Structure 1
């Protein structure tokens, strides 16, 4: 069972199963502040748990909970509250804390989509030199779940390609694919939070280099 209709929900259709509840409905804007939006997701989650207590729930959280600069944000506090609720009220769950998703369509304000659009439209933008980001191909989330759903119980998995990309690495890969130069200025700012990855994720990506992974993303999604 898949709950949701966005990028994640659509990508999971090939692995949908009556054994699991893939909860892929939620607040998509990390800058959201309206309590009604967060309450809507919480209410839907509670109802889903109550109606499907015989199934394993897969919840999609965010690696932003590791970002010290966002600890007080409505979005991060909300995600942590839901994680805590699931741990207390579900006997069979898996929580995936996701990095910056790259996929077909989706939110135009995701990091990859934003940079792609700025470069291809010749828009000026600002690059924070100290920022580092974790990327994940939506197809890899699906592949990981297909092989690990049954293996991982009652835990939290940090889910992203295990490499912290410099923003200019990502920009360079997009420029190479589009044959266009980004028009940007640089400032000596930006956030960087360290994420530790478990053996399940590191072994899953063990045969791919950071350069090859980034090139694959640009080939697939530009």
Structure 2
């Protein structure tokens, strides 16, 4: 059972299961402030759990929780509150905190979509020199999630992120090479970086030979752009 129609939800269309709820609907914009948007997700979570208490509830949360610059943001506080709801109401659940997903389609404001479009359309990109973000291939999100379900790794919170963070400059270097196009940039000495630990999923990347940062970005570009 799939709840949602965005990038994450669409990953599981061919792997839908009657005994699992893939809950990937709700607030996805980290800049959201409207209480109605948060309430909509909260009500949908409660309703889905009440109607399907026998199913494993997979909730896709966010690694933005670890970003100290967003500690007081309505979005992060909402996601933490939803995580608590899932923990309290679900007999069997899995909370997956996802970093910056890269896949086919999705919101144009997603990091990789924004950077690719800016390079191709020759729009100026402001680079916060101290900022780093974590990119993860949407296909890897799907593969890891299904593996966790098969292993019955329930009633826990797990980070779904790549082995290392990327600076915007690192990502743009690969984009420029791939598209053979120079990015228009201006640098600001600012930005945040935060550590994401992935002990439960680290082996996935090593076993699948996905340990080279540059090659990982190139792989995603070839698949989706």
Separation (CA, whole Å) in 2 of partners of 1:75 and 1:114? 20
Report 1:1-222 matches (<5 A): 1-151=1-151, 152-198=153-199, 200-206=200-206, 207-208=209-210, 209-222=212-225
User: Does the 8 Å CA contact 2:161/2:196 hold for their aligned counterparts?
Assistant: no
Q: Deviations 1:173-205 (Å, cap 9, x if unpaired)?
A: 11111111100011111100111111x311000
Separation (CA, whole Å) in 1 of partners of 2:124 and 2:68? 28
Separation (CA, whole Å) in 2 of partners of 1:114 and 1:98? 18
Shift of 1:211: 2.0
Shift of 1:47: 0.4
Structure 1 runs of 4+ aligned residues shifted over 6 Å read none
Q: TM-score, normalised by structure 1?
A: 0.97
Ranges in structure 1 where 5+ consecutive residues have no aligned partner: none
User: Does the 8 Å CA contact 1:65/1:76 hold for their aligned counterparts?
Assistant: yes
User: Does the 8 Å CA contact 1:15/1:142 hold for their aligned counterparts?
Assistant: no
Q: Deviations 1:153-186 (Å, cap 9, x if unpaired)?
A: 1001110112111111111111111111100011
3-state SS of the aligned residue for 2:14? helix
Q: Deviations 1:128-165 (Å, cap 9, x if unpaired)?
A: 11011111111111111222213211001110112111
3-state SS of the aligned residue for 1:53? coil
- Cα RMSD of the aligned pairs, angstroms, is 0.9
User: Does the 8 Å CA contact 2:103/2:137 hold for their aligned counterparts?
Assistant: yes
Ranges in structure 2 where 5+ consecutive residues have no aligned partner: none
Shift of 1:221: 1.8
Separation (CA, whole Å) in 2 of partners of 1:106 and 1:68? 26
